[in-house]
Amino acid sequence: MKKVLSLLSLTALLFLSCEGDPGPPGPIGPEGPPGDALLGSVFEYQVDFNAANNYAAIFEFPSEIEVFESDVVLAYILNDVDNGVDIWEPLPQTLFFDNDGILLYGFDHTFADIQFFMDGNIDLSTLDPIFTDGVVFRVAIIPADLLQGVDTSDINNILNLAQDIKTIQVD
């Protein structure tokens, strides 16, 4: 029995230690989509909310960006700037005022446009201009395939996936 195991071990070692000709290369595969086909886009909008626009603003996506129904559209609001570093928070964003009520910044979208809006049980016309004027939103459009396993609550994760940052300022 020991001779059989020794013979099998020796034979296995002989086969594992031998190296042959690697052979010819295989055929070239079909050409895939361009390398940037799965890259996302990031851009910004600046909004002034008021009674005239019903505390909402609709924007068409930039024409150079093709958005598909399957793409993921994420929106963030500029919450603060700390030592020159922007602090972004994902929408919807809810603010609670002492005894005055609740303010909500939200968004909705289609594959052609995005709408930002303010809502809540607070009288929007009484808000300080810091809450209504020059509010900056960042939008990230990411192909759904790229977001598998990505934490979308942190804008830095999204920016690592994106290719373009464009600023679109609308009053």
Dump pLDDT digits (tens) for 39-74: 678 889 999 999 999 999 999 998 888 888 888 899
**Residue 95 pairs with which residues in a beta bridge?**
103
List C-alpha distances in Å: 148 to 51, 133, 153, 163: 40, 36, 14, 18
Q: Are strands 93-97 and 101-109 parallel, antiparallel or unpaired?
A: antiparallel
Write down the pLDDT at residue 10: 60
Write down the pLDDT at residue 91: 95
- Overall pTM > 0.85: no
| Two structure tokens written together for 125 | 């016309």
State how far Cα 14 lies from the chain centre. Answer: 54
Write down the pLDDT at residue 52: 96
Of all helices (H) and strands (E), which one includes residue 93?
strand 93-97
- Is the separation of the CB atoms in 40 and 132 below 8 Å? no
- Is the separation of the CB atoms in 71 and 81 below 8 Å? no
